[in-house]
Amino acid sequence: MFRFADPVFLWLLLLIPIYITVALRFRRALEPAVSFPLTRMAREQAGSRAAWKRAATLAVRCILIALVVLGLARPQAGRGTETVLSEGIDILLVLDVSGSMRAEDFKPQNRLGVAKSVVADFIEGRVSDRIGMVVFASEAYTQCPLTLDYDVLLELLDSIELGMIDEQSTAIGLALATAANRLRESEAESKIVVLLTDGRNNAGQIDPVTAAQAAAALGIKVYTVAAGTAEGGPIPVDDPVWGRRYVNVPTDIDEDVLREISRITGGRYFRAKTEGMLADVYSTIDALEKTKVEVKHFTSYTELGPRFAMAALVIALIELVLGATVLRRIP
- Residue 150 sits in a domain of what CATH number? 3.40.50.410
Instruction: Answer with the residue of higher pLDDT: 317 or 52.
Output: 317
Q: Which of 264, 278, 232 is nearest to 113 (CA)?
A: 278
Q: Which of 260, 238, 208 is nearest to 96 (CA)?
A: 208
pLDDT of residue 282: 95
pLDDT of residue 33: 52
Assess if residue 233 is contained within a domain.
yes
Is the domain of 29 the same as that of 102? Answer: no
Assess if residue 331 is contained within a domain.
no
pLDDT of residue 329: 57
Is the domain of 168 the same as that of 186? Answer: yes
pLDDT of residue 134: 98
Is the domain of 161 the same as that of 258? Answer: yes
What range does the domain containing 47 cover? 2-79+298-324
Q: How does the average pLDDT of the chain come out, rounded?
A: 85
Q: Which of 197, 176, 173 is nearest to 115 (CA)?
A: 197
Is the domain of 259 the same as that of 143? Answer: yes
Is the domain of 152 the same as that of 221? Answer: yes
pLDDT of residue 298: 64
pLDDT of residue 87: 63
pLDDT of residue 80: 63
Q: Which of 33-42, 86-95, 122-131, 238-247 has the lowest mean pLDDT?
A: 33-42
Decide if pLDDT at 268 tops 70. yes
Assess if residue 101 is contained within a domain.
yes
pLDDT by residue (tens digit) across 14-64? Answer: 888 888 888 777 765 555 555 545 555 555 555 556 667 777 777 888 888
Q: Which of 6-10, 33-37, 234-238 has the lowest mean pLDDT?
A: 33-37
> 98 phi and psi, to 5 degrees?
-75, 170
Query: 96 near 170, Cβ under 8 Å?
Result: yes
Is the domain of 173 the same as that of 24? Answer: no
Decide if pLDDT at 235 tops 60. yes
Count: domains in the chain: 2
Is the domain of 10 the same as that of 105? Answer: no
Instruction: Answer with the residue of higher pLDDT: 207 or 38.
Output: 207
What amino acid is encoded at 313 in this protein?
L
Decide if pLDDT at 293 tops 80. no
Decide if pLDDT at 296 tops 70. no
Assess if residue 329 is contained within a domain.
no
pLDDT by residue (tens digit) across 177-196? Answer: 999 999 998 988 899 999 99
Instruction: Answer with the residue of higher pLDDT: 299 or 237.
Output: 237
- Spatial strand order of the sheet with 75-86 comes to 2-4, 75-86, 293-303
Q: Which of 149, 151, 199, 132 is nearest to 171 (CA)?
A: 199
pLDDT band at 325 (very low <50, low <70, confident <90, very high): confident
Q: Which of 167-176, 209-218, 267-276, 294-303 has the lowest mean pLDDT?
A: 294-303
